[in-house]
Amino acid sequence: MAARVQSEPFDPALVTAGLGDGAGALVTFVGIVRDDGDLSALEIEHYPGMTEAALADYGQGAAARFGLTGWRVVHRYGRMAVGEQIMMVATAARHRRAAFDAADYLMDWLKSRAPFWKREIRRDGSAAWVAARDEDEASLARWQAGRPLGPP
């Protein structure tokens, strides 16, 4: 499966194994739980069933739009401490621009349209759901408005 949803950590090298075969470019992005001062951990909830389908759908959409030779998405759920890897996207294409753009495009979709919800756990034990950011919506919208990057 090109899309995976799991609670366990992942090894990017294993995720991308063989993905560059027949390609000229392989781009990977790994999201990491960022230490913003007093963050202890993230808890990520998801919608089992829909999540897997949505990741596969967005991956296939990116593959078609950018002419990818291959792609992988891994996204974790559950509790992750600061410094742990949350998710990754890998895109392979004949040329670098398509691979970079497809990774960027996929990330914009995952941020705002994949059914995950983050909760921040602070060092004092308090917790709060992360609010969606307007700039993430704006990032996604730029692929629709005028399509500045990548093939149509």
Partner 1 sequence: MAIEVLYFAWVRERVGLPRERIETGAATIRDLLAELALRSPGHAAALEDHAALRCAIDQKLTGLDAPLAGVREVAIFPPMTGG
Choose which of 15, 20, 39, 47 interacts with partner 1 (CB under 8 A): 47
- When asked if residue 92 is in the footprint of partner 1 (CB under 8 A), the reply is no
Q: How far apart are CA 152 and CA 147, in angstroms?
A: 7
Count the helix, strand and coil residues of the chain and give each as a percent rounded to the nearest 5. Answer: 30, 35, 35
117 binds partner 1 (CB under 8 A): yes
Q: 111 with 125: CB under 8 angstroms?
A: no
Residue 12, C-beta contacts closer than 8 angstroms, at least 6 positions apart: 28, 30, 85, 88, 90
Q: Is 60 in the site for partner 1 (CB under 8 A)?
A: no
Q: Binding partner 1 by CB under 8 A: which of 115, 122, 142, 149?
A: 115
Per the rule left: phi > 0, alpha: psi between -120 and 50, beta: everything else, 48 is beta
Task: Select from 11-19, 48-56, 61-69, 90-98 the region that touches partner 1 (CB under 8 A).
Answer: 48-56
Told to check if 50 binds partner 1 by CB under 8 A, we report yes
Pick 53 or 81: Cβ nearer partner 1? 53
Instruction: Please pick, from the candidates 79, 113, 122, 142, the single residue that binds partner 1 as defined by CB under 8 A.
Output: 113
Question: Smallest distance from the beta carbon of 92 to partner 1, in angstroms?
Answer: 20
Segment near partner 1 (CB under 8 A); pick from 16-24, 43-51, 59-67, 96-104? 43-51
Residues 6+ positions from 30 with CB-CB distance below 8 Å: 12, 85, 87, 88
**Contacts of 65 by beta carbon, 8 Å cutoff, 6+ apart:** 102, 105, 150, 151, 152
- Can you give the binding site for partner 1, defined by CB under 8 A? 31, 44-45, 47, 49-50, 53-54, 75, 86-87, 107, 110-119, 129-132, 136
